Amino acid sequence: MPLFMALFVMVLLLFPITGTAADDYRPMSAIEVYYHSKNHEQIIRNLSKANDPDSTVEDLLIAGELYYKRRVVDVDLGAGLSFKLNSKTPDKDALRYFERAAKKSQSPGLQLRIGQIYLRTREVIVGSIPTGEEWLTKAANQGHTEAEYQLGMFYQNTGWTRVDHQKTLHWLKRAANKNHTKALFQLGQMYLEGSGVATDEGQARRYYQQAASNGHTLAMRMLGDSYRYGTFTKEDPVAAFDWYTRLAESGDSQAQVDIGLMYAAGEGTARDYSAARKWMTAASQSKNPPMDAFFYLGMLQEQGHGGPQDLSGAVKSYQQAKKKGDLRAYAALGMMHMQGRGVEKDHTKSFELLSEPAKSGIAPAQYGLALLYFSGAGVDKNVTYALDWFEKAGAQGHPDALMALGEIYRVGEEVPGDLVASAKWHQQGAERGHSHSQLIMGIFYENGTGVPKNFTRSYMWFHIAGAYGSEQASRARDRLAKQLTPAQLNEAQQM
């Protein structure tokens, strides 16, 4: 038996083109065998048979596919034999053959295909939409799951027909009852949005979970985001981490960034910088890497989290993020040029890199620009501008900017000293976790500087700063503890 015939027989066994309501029509597999075998004589034989009244379903399907896909345009067989597939109405010719085949076979898979072709050619064939609906309905009524789903979507599409939520729900549920993944997801959307049904977040969650369990990536994303942010479920970081992990393992690069961030923050899982770095690396090496992947990988490399510090690698990662327009990467590179970390120290370059993100509201860039204006490095010194940028960064809770403002008003060299203002800024910096501001607030509360004297609060801030590694704060805490009553000490430790 010739090789192409053996392949064709195998294809027909795997994908029958005639049969009962349970079959799925996939004729292009047979077409591919014919076409790639270069057996053009067989193609012509099928086409000629297709025009006979007693043509087989196979002949009709081959002819229909050739016209619809335009697989053969001009064939020269030699020896005076030639063939041209010319048609001014190939879609209509294809449907003519397909419809004859469908009448002979009653194949729901073929009925579905005919319905889809009519809907796709609605701008070419007059009356194609109701005809397409008719064919989809024939297939769906035979229990063809994909046809049930397609028909449900048909009644939801305003471009095809008047929306009929009842019919949409009917057909989507029929498909969903057979575990059709897209139907399950679509029902989740309907219940979440209240589209044609009463809003029911619990029902939406159940449909999304079924779709996600079948591997529907957008359903996984919806569940992960909801469990993380509480949009239509209760917040559950562990569940969010689980869905993001499944999505990440399927190759979703944004999910790889998400679980990388969760590992870095210890959110929904134990903190693991090594795992965070692994996933950020995977995301950055993906086919379509998210902008975030390069930026966060650069941060891990710069800070030496999850592996050795790699300033050169950090610069490369930030540069990749910068190419994608990530203003945070501009800011990071600007700070590295300011400090000469991994790149040559260049304050002028630093100012150029920091300016745009600072104006766009990136707090680290605002802080960096304030430092340059305050010191006159890379730009003319301007304390007024510096204070303005420090305050803009501080308004976003940038700890270093808050601490800097506290120190500027405490020292009183570039501006008149103002201990009340200093205490205000240091208090905010301390609350944001800056250990130097915590130490200063301990001193201020002990001495009544800029704030009312309060030994209990003084002890509290010394204790917190000491926990962050300040030896000076630890010594002050131990000294102050001897002056507190047991009740005051207990109160301070509970604050």
User: For residue 438, what pLDDT band results from cuts at 50, 70 and 90?
Assistant: very high
Residues linked to residue 75 through DSSP beta bridges, in sequence order? 83
User: For residue 42, what pLDDT band results from cuts at 50, 70 and 90?
Assistant: low
Per-residue pLDDT at 245: 97
Range scoring the smallest mean pLDDT among 122-131, 180-189, 269-278, 330-339: 122-131
Top-confidence range, 35-44, 178-187, 460-469 = 178-187
Structure tokens at 181: 């993944």
d(C-alpha 187, C-alpha 51), whole Å: 44
CB-based contact 202:192 (threshold 8 Å):
no
User: What does the pLDDT look like over 374-396, one tens digit per residue?
Assistant: 999 999 999 999 999 999 999 99
Mean pLDDT of the chain: 86
Q: Which of 437, 485, 478, 489 is nearest to 461 (CA)?
A: 437
Structure tokens at 267: 């959110």
CB-based contact 415:382 (threshold 8 Å):
no
Range scoring the smallest mean pLDDT among 1-15, 453-467, 474-488: 1-15
Q: For 22, what's the count of Cα atoms within 13 Å in the CB-facing half-sphere? A: 0
First to last CA, the chain: 87
What is the mean pLDDT of the segment spanning 306-313? 96
CB-based contact 130:163 (threshold 8 Å):
no
1 pLDDT more than 90:
no
With a CB cutoff of 8 Å and minimum separation 6, the contacts of 152 are: 167, 168, 169, 170, 171, 172, 174, 175, 183, 186
Instruction: For residue 409, give the 3-state DSSP assignment.
Output: helix
User: What does the pLDDT look like over 335-346, one tens digit per residue?
Assistant: 999 999 999 999
Per-residue pLDDT at 43: 59
User: What does the pLDDT look like over 392-430, one tens digit per residue?
Assistant: 999 999 999 999 999 999 999 999 999 999 999 999 999
Q: Which of 133, 135, 197, 189 is nearest to 165 (CA)?
A: 197
Top-confidence range, 123-127, 128-132, 224-228 = 224-228
User: What does the pLDDT look like over 352-378, one tens digit per residue?
Assistant: 999 999 999 999 999 999 999 999 999
Instruction: Write the DSSP assignment of 370-386 as a string of letters.
Output: HHHHHHTSSS---HHHH
Cα–Cα distances in angstroms (integers) from residue 317 to residues 187, 253, 298, 314, in the given order: 41, 16, 5, 5
Range scoring the smallest mean pLDDT among 9-18, 77-86, 117-126, 242-251: 9-18
Work out the percent of the chain whose per-residue pLDDT is above 70.
Answer: 85
Per-residue pLDDT at 24: 52
Q: At what angle do helices 145-154 and 128-141 cross, to 10 degrees?
A: 140
Q: In this predicted model, which residue has the larger pLDDT, 481 or 147?
A: 147
28 pLDDT more than 70:
no
Instruction: Name all contacts of 374-383 with Cβ < 8 Å and 24+ positions apart.
Output: 374/404, 374/408, 374/414, 377/338, 377/347, 377/350, 378/338, 378/346, 378/347, 378/348, 378/349, 378/350, 378/351, 379/347, 379/348, 379/351, 383/414, 383/415
CB-based contact 425:405 (threshold 8 Å):
yes
167 pLDDT more than 50:
yes
